[in-house]
A and B are shown apart, each in its own frame.
Chain A
Amino acid sequence: MRASHKFKVYEFADEAMSDAPSVSRDEVRADICRRLDPFRTDARPITGATVITKDLNIDSLAVMDMVMELEDTYDISIPLNVVAEIHTVDELTDTVLKIRGER
């Protein structure tokens, strides 16, 4: 039996953001909009009111990939029940900020 376990961690996007002392709401929202930009359905820009699973051409797997990337970037974990109640970009932004504030 191994005495200690140092697992090589793959997949961990160790971005500097996770160490940043604080981020503003505008920064987080801009970050989310940037990540969602490839999934726009028309020329209209993505805003805080954009309903992620409705207004965009994004499937559930890609949505969860994006949520995972956000979790890595901001060093948070969003509970399943909270994820299930998020619809808009603003709701996702506020969730990230709230959970980050609770760390």
Chain B
Amino acid sequence: MTPTATANTTLPYRRAGFASVPEMLDYAARGQTGVNFFDPRGRLTATMTWGELRERAHVFARRLIGAGFARGERLLITADTWPGFMVSFFGAQYAGLLPVPVSLPAGLGGKDAYLDQLRRQLAASGAVAALATDELAGYLTTAAEGSAARLVGAMSTFEALPEKPVDLRPWGAGERCYLQFSSGSTRFPLGVDIRQDALMANIAGQIGDHGLAIGPRDHVTSWLPLYHDMGLIGFMLAPMAAQRSIDYLSARDFARRPMQWLSLISQRRSSITYSPSFGYDLTTRRAQTQSLDGLDLSCVRIAGIGGDMIQPSVLARFAARFGPAGFDTGAFMPSYGMAEVCLALSFGRRGDGFHVDTVDRQQLSEDRVARAVAPSESSRAFVLCGLPLPEHPVEIRDEAGAVLPERRVGRIFAKGPSIMAGYFEAPEASAEALKDGWLDTGDLGYWLDGQLVVTGRAKDLIIVNGRNIWPQDIEWSVEELPQLRRGDVCAFSIDAEDGAESIVVVVNAWPAQEEARTALIGAAQQIVKETVGVDCVVQLLSPSIGLPMTSSGKLSRSRARTRYLAGEYANGGRRPVPAAT
């Protein structure tokens, strides 16, 4: 097996400017470039030129159309990094169906939580067909019982459909493209209704001169999961829009062998790659015990960072560790975006590395002012996230909606051609996010020298190891313990070392016996682990203290966090009886 070429021989290089995904693939299919799949030991396991992918996608599309699936219906796909995902995703594009990529099970003992997640995603998308990898086909079949899906199974199930001589009905300009689950609670999943026009506009921004400035000699390497917009749009669709070859390592394989990511880049002389901070961190940690002999990263032109809060110390450690292997710290390219804008909203300057702004922590959280200070224990360092894409006005506003000047922290709003039309069949959520053509990103940030600095999420979203965790998901699952009631649980994140986040769950209960308290803490931690796959600190709180509420009777996570950090919840908030004064 031979991997696809880095450059096309005769096909003229063309960077974006296509009307739709099918048009993009039609063009790339005329060259020799394509996609290559590597296993965790660096062996090539599958390869397709864009032309071969197009042929297989056409066959898949004729099977779907021939089976009677109507234009606009949804096809759910488990988005592991496998050729079948791409064949079915692009097959749906040519058949006028909407692909709905979904994630994979989280780990040891995660079966039940995964089945629940699949059921909710099937319901939210109203999928009429659902395709899984061979290993997950059984789960998907179980989850789809009683759903609207008429055809469910592995690729062999779909290949058993007859290929009828029907006309393709590809999505075109102005039409829909796919549903991107990403935002919001996993209990009530919201799919971003990705449209062709908005997608094409954002891809042009990503790979154009403001962004990666992809050229005809660039080679792309990615381990990013294809159920995430950064993997799917950034590292499947965008490189295709410039006829690039892509080398893939699956996210699962990356997590096991992060050094294989760099090894692939080095061996294949790749120039562009991307990762959230936690990926750079994982790789640096794993490299402590490894020899870097033979590793040459001087080929890397862009090492993008996105998908989580960027941690400057992580980037500095990565650069220090891999500098001797030829890694240029100037290749770091911070960026900021979300599925609601079809991925990217801002990029750092190319070749400029990352820049840090150190501000006073207390003024930041209390006065919402980012005052520059010398680094100290009471300061907080942020990485500048770059300049907004052309034609995408960005505003930072205070709570009253007034536009804020430099160094004042407020909510980030954006508009422009790549803003989503809305969430799929969720008018209320769409109206909440989109107002007068502006997208409320839900993030907080400030301006510095024309660059966006993102400081956190207004919506209390928790991000751990690059995963977004909605606090409600934790609270609701813990509340299902028999001894608890609705409203008894409050989840939030606190800054751990290096700006990473750790989760604190405050439980409004204080059983009399110490054994019972220990058991309750253990049970709550176990539920959190099963539900969202992460560890947490559980703090019991005497019901006599109670969780803080807002004036409208809603749980106030920010106040609970403040009190927790102030030590008010130690020993359940039960203070020693004060001496009479």
Query: Are A and B genuine complex partners?
Result: yes
Interface residues of chain A, those whose CB is within 8 Å of chain B, are 1, 3, 5, 7-12, 52-54, 59-61, 63-65, 67-68, 71, 79-87
- Nearest chain-A residue to B140 (Cβ)? A81
Contact B42 A83 (CB under 8 A): no
Q: Which 8 A-B pairs have the closest CB atoms?
A: A7-B42, A10-B259, A79-B135, A68-B256, A84-B111, A84-B105, A11-B257, A59-B535
A-B pairs with beta carbons under 8 Å apart, 25 shown: A1-B6, A5-B44, A7-B263, A8-B263, A8-B267, A9-B42, A10-B263, A11-B259, A11-B260, A53-B108, A53-B529, A59-B529, A59-B534, A60-B107, A61-B255, A67-B108, A68-B256, A81-B105, A81-B139, A83-B107, A83-B108, A84-B109, A85-B109, A86-B109, A87-B108
Interface status of B494 (Cβ within 8 A of chain A):
no
Contact B107 A64 (CB under 8 A): yes
Interface status of B358 (Cβ within 8 A of chain A):
no
CA distance A103 to B255 in the complex (A): 24
CA distance A81 to B290 in the complex (A): 31
Chain A residues near B534: list those with CB within 8 A.
Answer: 59-60
Contact A10 B108 (CB under 8 A): no
Contact B111 A60 (CB under 8 A): no
From 190 to 229 in chain B, residues with beta carbon under 8 angstroms from any chain A beta carbon are none
Whole-angstrom distance between the Cβ of A16 and the nearest chain B Cβ: 18
Contact A52 B108 (CB under 8 A): yes
Contact A80 B136 (CB under 8 A): yes
Chain A residues near B533: list those with CB within 8 A.
Answer: 60
CA distance A75 to B286 in the complex (A): 20
8 additional A-B residue pairs with CB within 8 Å, beyond A7-B43, A11-B257, A52-B108: A8-B293, A10-B257, A11-B290, A52-B109, A64-B107, A80-B136, A81-B136, A86-B109
CA distance A75 to B535 in the complex (A): 29
Interface status of B18 (Cβ within 8 A of chain A):
no
Chain B residues near A12: list those with CB within 8 A.
Answer: 41, 257
Quick one: which of A1, A8, A11 has the most chain B CB within 10 A? A11
Interface status of B491 (Cβ within 8 A of chain A):
no
CA distance A81 to B138 in the complex (A): 9
Contact B5 A1 (CB under 8 A): yes
Quick one: which of A12, A64, A80, A87 has the most chain B CB within 10 A? A80
Interface status of B119 (Cβ within 8 A of chain A):
no
A-B contacts, CB under 8 A, total:
104
Chain B residues near A5: list those with CB within 8 A.
Answer: 3, 44, 267
- Nearest chain-B residue to A71 (Cβ)? B256
CA distance A94 to B530 in the complex (A): 22
Interface status of B404 (Cβ within 8 A of chain A):
no
CA distance A53 to B529 in the complex (A): 8
Whole-angstrom distance between the Cβ of A89 and the nearest chain B Cβ: 11
Interface status of B106 (Cβ within 8 A of chain A):
yes
From 94 to 114 in chain B, residues with beta carbon under 8 angstroms from any chain A beta carbon are 104-111, 114
CA distance A86 to B135 in the complex (A): 15
Which residue from A60, A80, A81 sits with its C-beta under 8 Å from B529?
A60
- Nearest chain-B residue to A8 (Cβ)? B294
CA distance A81 to B140 in the complex (A): 11
From 240 to 270 in chain B, residues with beta carbon under 8 angstroms from any chain A beta carbon are 252, 255-260, 262-264, 267
CA distance A71 to B136 in the complex (A): 20
CA distance A59 to B41 in the complex (A): 25
Chain B residues near A64: list those with CB within 8 A.
Answer: 107-108, 255-256
Chain B residues near A10: list those with CB within 8 A.
Answer: 257, 259-260, 262-263, 290-291, 295
CA distance A84 to B104 in the complex (A): 10
CA distance A67 to B107 in the complex (A): 10
Chain A residues near B6: list those with CB within 8 A.
Answer: 1
Q: A10-B257, A10-B263, A80-B104 are in contact. Are A53 and B109 (CB under 8 A)?
A: yes
Quick one: which of A54, A71, A79, A81 has the most chain B CB within 10 A? A81
- Nearest chain-A residue to B4 (Cβ)? A1
CA distance A60 to B530 in the complex (A): 10
Chain B residues near A54: list those with CB within 8 A.
Answer: 526
Whole-angstrom distance between the Cβ of B141 and the nearest chain A Cβ: 11
Chain B residues near A68: list those with CB within 8 A.
Answer: 256-257
CA distance A68 to B108 in the complex (A): 12
Whole-angstrom distance between the Cβ of B186 and the nearest chain A Cβ: 16
Interface status of B2 (Cβ within 8 A of chain A):
yes
Whole-angstrom distance between the Cβ of B463 and the nearest chain A Cβ: 15
CA distance A80 to B293 in the complex (A): 32
Chain B residues near A53: list those with CB within 8 A.
Answer: 108-109, 526, 529-530
- Nearest chain-A residue to B38 (Cβ)? A7
Whole-angstrom distance between the Cβ of A9 and the nearest chain B Cβ: 5
Q: A7-B43, A12-B41, A80-B135 are in contact. Are A87 and B264 (CB under 8 A)?
A: no
CA distance A5 to B255 in the complex (A): 23
Whole-angstrom distance between the Cβ of A98 and the nearest chain B Cβ: 15
Contact B294 A83 (CB under 8 A): no
Contact A84 B110 (CB under 8 A): yes
Chain A residues near B286: list those with CB within 8 A.
Answer: 11
Whole-angstrom distance between the Cβ of B247 and the nearest chain A Cβ: 11
- Nearest chain-B residue to A57 (Cβ)? B535
Interface status of B465 (Cβ within 8 A of chain A):
yes
From 272 to 286 in chain B, residues with beta carbon under 8 angstroms from any chain A beta carbon are 286
From 3 to 48 in chain B, residues with beta carbon under 8 angstroms from any chain A beta carbon are 3, 5-6, 41-44
Contact B530 A83 (CB under 8 A): no
Chain A residues near B263: list those with CB within 8 A.
Answer: 7-10
Chain A residues near B2: list those with CB within 8 A.
Answer: 1, 3
CA distance A65 to B107 in the complex (A): 11
Which residue from A3, A52, A63, A84 sits with its C-beta under 8 Å from B114?
A84
- Nearest chain-B residue to A59 (Cβ)? B535
Whole-angstrom distance between the Cβ of A87 and the nearest chain B Cβ: 5
CA distance A64 to B282 in the complex (A): 13
Chain B residues near A63: list those with CB within 8 A.
Answer: 107-108
Chain A residues near B105: list those with CB within 8 A.
Answer: 80-81, 83-84
